[in-house]
Amino acid sequence: MGWSSATTVFTPIAHALIDANVDDTTKRRVLANLIRGLQQGDWDTEDEALEDLLHDPAAVLAFADCGVHLPDRRCCRAALTSEPREHIKAMRSGDVPEAEMDQALDAYAHQLAERQRAHLHADGDDAGCVCGGCTACLVTEVIKLIDPTATGEG
């Protein structure tokens, strides 16, 4: 018989690590060790705890390190949210909810805009020109189209 109350041990620790902004490498290692220990005690609701932490890629990877996945493999896509292009590529197979696809596309667009902003800053083309015709102004307009929630300023 399994130990479903292990989740009451795991969840507060996982959320404390997340709330404390522990770096992903440390968080993944600590959570994987905790998961393994709870599994030795016959934890049988790991999938429910995983589902609660799909928003945190390091936590999702800790579960994957311990062989825990959701049946629909949403966890595998969730682990890629910090890499928007890879996240989108992982959505090519299976039934992906529209909201997840929208979120991934928005994240990828934001990443593209951030790269363009960094390029403008690196080239020194961000002097504030507003002519609309120079390269810096054109790139700024493209950034606004790609990522309309951003200001276009670095």
pTM of the predicted model as reported, rounded to 2 decimal places: 0.56
What's CA 117's distance to the chain center, in Å? 21
pLDDT one digit per residue (tens) for the chain, 154 residues? 356 688 899 999 999 999 999 999 999 999 999 999 999 988 988 999 999 998 898 998 899 889 888 887 777 766 666 666 666 666 665 666 677 777 777 777 777 777 777 777 666 655 555 555 566 666 677 777 666 665 544 4
What is the C-alpha to C-alpha distance for residues 145 and 112, in angstroms, rounded to an integer? Answer: 11
What is the C-alpha to C-alpha distance for residues 68 and 7, in angstroms, rounded to an integer? Answer: 14
Q: Tokens 């800790």 identify what position?
A: 62
- Break the chain into its structural domains and give their ranges: 4-79
Structure-block tokens of residue 11: 């969840």
What is the C-alpha to C-alpha distance for residues 123 and 18, in angstroms, rounded to an integer? Answer: 36
